[in-house]
Amino acid sequence: MTPSEDAGEFRDLLFELLGVLEDAGVEYLITGALVRNAFGQERTTQDFDIVVHPDQADPEGLRELLAPRGYDIEGPTRGDLGRRLILRFPDFWIDLWLAPDTPLHRGEFDRVVRAELHGRELPFLHPQDFVLRKLVNTKVRRASHDLDDAYQVLLFAWDLIDTDALMGDAALHRVEGKAHELIEIVRSDREQLEHGETPEGV
Amino acid sequence: MRVRSAEELVAAMPEPEEELDLRTQVKRPTAGQYAHWKAKTPGERLWAGFKLMAFARSFKVRTRDSK
Protein backbone atom coordinates (compact mmCIF):
# COMPACT_ATOMS: atom_id res chain seq x y z
CA MET A 1 0.00 0.00 0.00
CA THR A 2 1.41 3.43 -0.93
CA PRO A 3 1.49 6.31 1.58
CA SER A 4 -1.25 8.08 -0.41
CA GLU A 5 -3.54 5.03 -0.31
CA ASP A 6 -2.90 4.68 3.39
CA ALA A 7 -3.61 8.40 3.89
CA GLY A 8 -6.79 7.83 1.90
CA GLU A 9 -7.92 5.37 4.56
CA PHE A 10 -7.85 8.13 7.19
CA ARG A 11 -9.70 10.50 4.87
CA ASP A 12 -12.32 7.85 4.01
CA LEU A 13 -12.84 7.04 7.69
CA LEU A 14 -13.53 10.72 8.35
CA PHE A 15 -15.74 11.22 5.28
CA GLU A 16 -17.76 8.10 6.08
CA LEU A 17 -18.56 9.24 9.63
CA LEU A 18 -19.36 12.78 8.51
CA GLY A 19 -21.65 11.35 5.84
CA VAL A 20 -23.58 9.36 8.47
CA LEU A 21 -23.94 12.46 10.66
CA GLU A 22 -25.02 14.64 7.73
CA ASP A 23 -27.56 12.11 6.45
CA ALA A 24 -29.10 12.06 9.93
CA GLY A 25 -29.17 15.88 10.08
CA VAL A 26 -26.62 16.06 12.91
CA GLU A 27 -24.75 19.38 12.96
CA TYR A 28 -21.06 19.06 13.79
CA LEU A 29 -17.74 20.83 13.50
CA ILE A 30 -14.21 19.52 13.20
CA THR A 31 -11.68 20.49 15.83
CA GLY A 32 -8.35 19.23 17.21
CA ALA A 33 -5.36 18.32 15.07
CA LEU A 34 -7.37 18.60 11.85
CA VAL A 35 -7.90 22.32 12.47
CA ARG A 36 -4.20 22.74 13.03
CA ASN A 37 -3.46 20.76 9.88
CA ALA A 38 -5.93 22.74 7.76
CA PHE A 39 -4.76 26.15 9.01
CA GLY A 40 -1.19 25.59 10.17
CA GLN A 41 1.89 23.44 9.71
CA GLU A 42 0.89 19.76 9.93
CA ARG A 43 1.50 17.34 12.79
CA THR A 44 0.56 13.72 13.21
CA THR A 45 -2.28 12.58 15.49
CA GLN A 46 -3.83 9.35 16.73
CA ASP A 47 -7.37 10.68 16.81
CA PHE A 48 -9.85 12.95 15.09
CA ASP A 49 -12.06 15.30 17.11
CA ILE A 50 -15.63 16.06 16.04
CA VAL A 51 -17.96 18.26 18.12
CA VAL A 52 -21.72 17.64 17.96
CA HIS A 53 -24.02 20.67 18.26
CA PRO A 54 -25.51 21.19 21.77
CA ASP A 55 -29.04 20.58 20.44
CA GLN A 56 -28.04 17.13 19.16
CA ALA A 57 -25.42 16.07 21.71
CA ASP A 58 -27.52 13.13 22.91
CA PRO A 59 -25.23 10.15 23.52
CA GLU A 60 -28.04 7.58 23.27
CA GLY A 61 -29.31 9.00 19.99
CA LEU A 62 -25.80 9.02 18.54
CA ARG A 63 -25.20 5.49 19.74
CA GLU A 64 -28.43 4.34 18.07
CA LEU A 65 -27.33 6.04 14.88
CA LEU A 66 -23.78 4.70 14.80
CA ALA A 67 -23.87 1.23 16.41
CA PRO A 68 -25.96 -0.41 13.64
CA ARG A 69 -23.36 0.85 11.15
CA GLY A 70 -20.66 -1.18 12.85
CA TYR A 71 -18.93 1.52 14.89
CA ASP A 72 -17.21 0.28 18.06
CA ILE A 73 -18.45 2.86 20.58
CA GLU A 74 -17.17 3.59 24.07
CA GLY A 75 -18.74 6.00 26.53
CA PRO A 76 -19.97 8.56 27.08
CA THR A 77 -16.93 9.34 29.22
CA ARG A 78 -16.05 12.58 30.97
CA GLY A 79 -12.49 13.87 30.78
CA ASP A 80 -10.65 17.13 31.44
CA LEU A 81 -12.00 18.66 28.24
CA GLY A 82 -15.66 17.53 28.41
CA ARG A 83 -17.96 14.60 27.64
CA ARG A 84 -17.48 12.42 24.59
CA LEU A 85 -18.19 9.16 22.83
CA ILE A 86 -15.10 7.35 21.56
CA LEU A 87 -15.27 5.47 18.25
CA ARG A 88 -12.53 2.81 18.26
CA PHE A 89 -10.54 1.63 15.24
CA PRO A 90 -7.30 -0.40 15.13
CA ASP A 91 -4.48 1.96 16.25
CA PHE A 92 -6.81 4.94 16.00
CA TRP A 93 -9.95 6.55 17.43
CA ILE A 94 -12.41 9.36 16.83
CA ASP A 95 -13.62 11.51 19.73
CA LEU A 96 -17.20 12.60 19.30
CA TRP A 97 -17.47 15.52 21.72
CA LEU A 98 -20.91 16.27 23.16
CA ALA A 99 -21.04 20.08 23.24
CA PRO A 100 -22.67 21.41 26.41
CA ASP A 101 -25.43 23.97 26.02
CA THR A 102 -23.51 27.20 26.64
CA PRO A 103 -23.28 30.49 24.71
CA LEU A 104 -19.61 29.74 24.08
CA HIS A 105 -20.33 26.43 22.38
CA ARG A 106 -23.31 27.75 20.44
CA GLY A 107 -21.19 30.68 19.27
CA GLU A 108 -18.54 28.33 17.92
CA PHE A 109 -21.15 26.78 15.63
CA ASP A 110 -22.11 30.25 14.37
CA ARG A 111 -18.50 30.98 13.40
CA VAL A 112 -17.43 27.79 11.61
CA VAL A 113 -14.95 28.16 8.77
CA ARG A 114 -15.32 25.89 5.76
CA ALA A 115 -12.47 24.34 3.82
CA GLU A 116 -12.46 21.83 0.99
CA LEU A 117 -10.69 18.50 0.84
CA HIS A 118 -10.93 16.43 -2.34
CA GLY A 119 -14.21 18.01 -3.40
CA ARG A 120 -15.85 17.86 0.01
CA GLU A 121 -16.54 20.99 2.05
CA LEU A 122 -15.81 20.53 5.75
CA PRO A 123 -16.85 22.75 8.70
CA PHE A 124 -14.00 23.61 11.08
CA LEU A 125 -13.82 25.32 14.45
CA HIS A 126 -12.81 28.92 13.68
CA PRO A 127 -9.03 29.41 14.07
CA GLN A 128 -9.67 32.16 16.65
CA ASP A 129 -11.82 29.83 18.76
CA PHE A 130 -9.21 27.10 18.27
CA VAL A 131 -6.39 29.31 19.61
CA LEU A 132 -8.51 30.29 22.62
CA ARG A 133 -9.41 26.65 23.36
CA LYS A 134 -5.78 25.60 23.12
CA LEU A 135 -4.74 28.32 25.57
CA VAL A 136 -7.50 27.28 27.98
CA ASN A 137 -6.43 23.62 27.62
CA THR A 138 -3.00 24.53 29.02
CA LYS A 139 -4.77 25.31 32.31
CA VAL A 140 -6.39 21.89 32.63
CA ARG A 141 -3.79 19.52 31.19
CA ARG A 142 -0.11 19.23 30.36
CA ALA A 143 -0.22 18.27 26.68
CA SER A 144 2.94 19.39 24.96
CA HIS A 145 1.17 20.13 21.69
CA ASP A 146 -1.44 22.63 22.95
CA LEU A 147 0.78 25.70 22.86
CA ASP A 148 2.38 24.65 19.61
CA ASP A 149 -1.06 24.12 18.03
CA ALA A 150 -2.06 27.62 19.13
CA TYR A 151 1.17 29.11 17.75
CA GLN A 152 0.89 27.38 14.36
CA VAL A 153 -2.73 28.36 13.78
CA LEU A 154 -2.22 31.93 14.97
CA LEU A 155 0.80 32.26 12.66
CA PHE A 156 -0.70 30.78 9.52
CA ALA A 157 -4.32 31.95 9.98
CA TRP A 158 -3.32 35.41 11.27
CA ASP A 159 -5.53 37.19 8.73
CA LEU A 160 -8.62 35.32 10.01
CA ILE A 161 -8.01 36.25 13.64
CA ASP A 162 -9.05 39.42 15.48
CA THR A 163 -6.31 39.61 18.11
CA ASP A 164 -8.16 42.26 20.17
CA ALA A 165 -11.23 40.02 20.40
CA LEU A 166 -9.00 37.05 21.18
CA MET A 167 -7.42 39.01 24.05
CA GLY A 168 -10.90 39.88 25.36
CA ASP A 169 -11.96 36.23 25.34
CA ALA A 170 -8.63 35.19 26.86
CA ALA A 171 -9.22 37.61 29.76
CA LEU A 172 -12.64 36.03 30.42
CA HIS A 173 -10.93 32.65 30.68
CA ARG A 174 -7.98 33.97 32.70
CA VAL A 175 -5.36 33.14 30.06
CA GLU A 176 -4.62 36.70 29.01
CA GLY A 177 -0.95 36.51 30.03
CA LYS A 178 -0.26 33.56 27.81
CA ALA A 179 -2.42 34.95 25.00
CA HIS A 180 -0.53 38.26 25.07
CA GLU A 181 2.85 36.51 25.00
CA LEU A 182 1.80 34.23 22.15
CA ILE A 183 0.35 37.07 20.07
CA GLU A 184 3.54 39.14 20.47
CA ILE A 185 5.78 36.22 19.48
CA VAL A 186 3.66 35.44 16.43
CA ARG A 187 3.47 39.13 15.46
CA SER A 188 7.25 39.42 15.62
CA ASP A 189 7.95 36.08 13.87
CA ARG A 190 5.42 36.83 11.17
CA GLU A 191 6.92 40.22 10.41
CA GLN A 192 10.26 38.58 9.72
CA LEU A 193 8.87 35.54 7.94
CA GLU A 194 6.76 37.68 5.59
CA HIS A 195 10.02 39.39 4.54
CA GLY A 196 11.67 36.03 3.87
CA GLU A 197 13.77 36.15 7.04
CA THR A 198 14.08 33.33 9.57
CA PRO A 199 13.36 34.64 13.08
CA GLU A 200 16.24 34.78 15.52
CA GLY A 201 16.61 31.64 17.62
CA VAL A 202 14.96 29.28 15.09
CA MET B 1 -25.61 25.81 46.71
CA ARG B 2 -25.44 26.55 42.99
CA VAL B 3 -23.53 23.97 40.93
CA ARG B 4 -20.98 25.72 38.75
CA SER B 5 -20.44 24.64 35.14
CA ALA B 6 -17.10 23.23 34.00
CA GLU B 7 -16.44 26.46 32.12
CA GLU B 8 -17.03 28.58 35.19
CA LEU B 9 -14.66 26.36 37.14
CA VAL B 10 -11.97 26.62 34.45
CA ALA B 11 -12.42 30.41 34.26
CA ALA B 12 -11.98 30.63 38.03
CA MET B 13 -8.71 28.71 38.00
CA PRO B 14 -5.60 30.87 38.32
CA GLU B 15 -3.31 31.04 35.33
CA PRO B 16 -0.28 28.84 36.09
CA GLU B 17 3.02 30.62 36.59
CA GLU B 18 4.91 30.60 33.31
CA GLU B 19 8.29 29.20 34.03
CA LEU B 20 9.58 28.83 30.47
CA ASP B 21 9.92 31.19 27.53
CA LEU B 22 7.02 30.30 25.27
CA ARG B 23 9.38 30.44 22.27
CA THR B 24 11.05 27.27 23.49
CA GLN B 25 7.74 25.39 23.59
CA VAL B 26 6.66 25.88 19.97
CA LYS B 27 8.07 24.83 16.62
CA ARG B 28 8.88 28.13 14.94
CA PRO B 29 9.38 27.76 11.19
CA THR B 30 12.29 28.89 9.07
CA ALA B 31 11.57 31.32 6.25
CA GLY B 32 11.61 28.40 3.79
CA GLN B 33 9.17 26.30 5.81
CA TYR B 34 6.86 29.29 6.25
CA ALA B 35 6.78 30.06 2.52
CA HIS B 36 6.19 26.37 1.73
CA TRP B 37 3.20 26.03 4.08
CA LYS B 38 1.80 29.47 3.40
CA ALA B 39 1.45 28.61 -0.30
CA LYS B 40 -0.76 25.58 0.38
CA THR B 41 -4.57 25.57 0.53
CA PRO B 42 -6.27 24.17 3.66
CA GLY B 43 -7.16 21.06 1.67
CA GLU B 44 -3.54 20.54 0.59
CA ARG B 45 -2.39 20.96 4.18
CA LEU B 46 -4.99 18.50 5.44
CA TRP B 47 -3.93 15.94 2.87
CA ALA B 48 -0.29 16.42 3.85
CA GLY B 49 -1.39 15.78 7.46
CA PHE B 50 -3.10 12.53 6.47
CA LYS B 51 0.05 11.42 4.64
CA LEU B 52 2.13 12.21 7.71
CA MET B 53 -0.26 10.13 9.84
CA ALA B 54 0.01 7.25 7.36
CA PHE B 55 3.80 7.48 7.49
CA ALA B 56 3.79 7.56 11.31
CA ARG B 57 1.53 4.53 11.43
CA SER B 58 3.63 2.51 8.95
CA PHE B 59 6.75 3.41 10.94
CA LYS B 60 5.08 2.29 14.17
CA VAL B 61 3.96 -1.01 12.58
CA ARG B 62 7.45 -1.65 11.17
CA THR B 63 9.06 -0.90 14.52
CA ARG B 64 6.60 -3.13 16.38
CA ASP B 65 6.98 -6.01 13.87
CA SER B 66 10.76 -5.87 14.00
CA LYS B 67 10.83 -6.40 17.78
Q: Distance between CA A10 and CA A93 in Å, rounded? A: 11
Q: From the list A7, A43, A173, which residue is nearest B10 (CB)?
A: A173
Q: Kindly give, in sequence order, each residue whose CB lies less than 8 Å from that of residue A163, ignoring residues fewer than 6 positions away.
A: A183, A187
Question: What local confidence, expressed as pLDDT, does residue A144 receive?
Answer: 72
Residue A2 vs residue A142, higher pLDDT: A142
8 A C-beta contact, residue A166 and residue A71: no
Average pLDDT over residues A57-75: 96
Helix (H, G, I), strand (E, B) or coil at A78: strand
Note the helical H segments in chain B.
Answer: 6-12, 31-38, 42-65
Burial A164-194 (b: 16+ CB within 10 A, else e): eebeebbeebbbbebbeebbebbeebbeebe
A157: nearest Cα among A125, A197, A118: A125
Is B16 in CB contact (< 8 Å) with chain A? Answer: yes
**Partners of residue A37 in chain B, C-beta under 8 Å:** 45-46, 48-49
Helix (H, G, I), strand (E, B) or coil at A74: strand
| B-chain residue closest to A158, CA distance | B38
Strands, sheet with A47-52, edge to edge from the N-terminal-most edge strand: A72-79, A82-89, A92-98, A47-52, A28-31, A120-124, A113-117
Q: Distance between CA A92 and CA A10 in Å, rounded? A: 9
Question: What local confidence, expressed as pLDDT, does residue B12 receive?
Answer: 65
CB pair distance less than 8 Å for A37 and B54: no
Top residue of B4, B15, B55 to mutate, by most chain A CBs within 10 Å, is B15
Q: What is the pLDDT of residues A70-116, one digit of tens each?
A: 999 999 998 777 899 999 998 889 999 999 999 989 999 999 999 99
Q: From the list A4, A37, A104, which residue is nearest B49 (CB)?
A: A37
Q: What is the pLDDT of residues B10-62, one digit of tens each?
A: 666 655 554 567 888 899 999 999 999 999 999 999 999 999 999 888 876 55
Whole-model pTM?
0.88
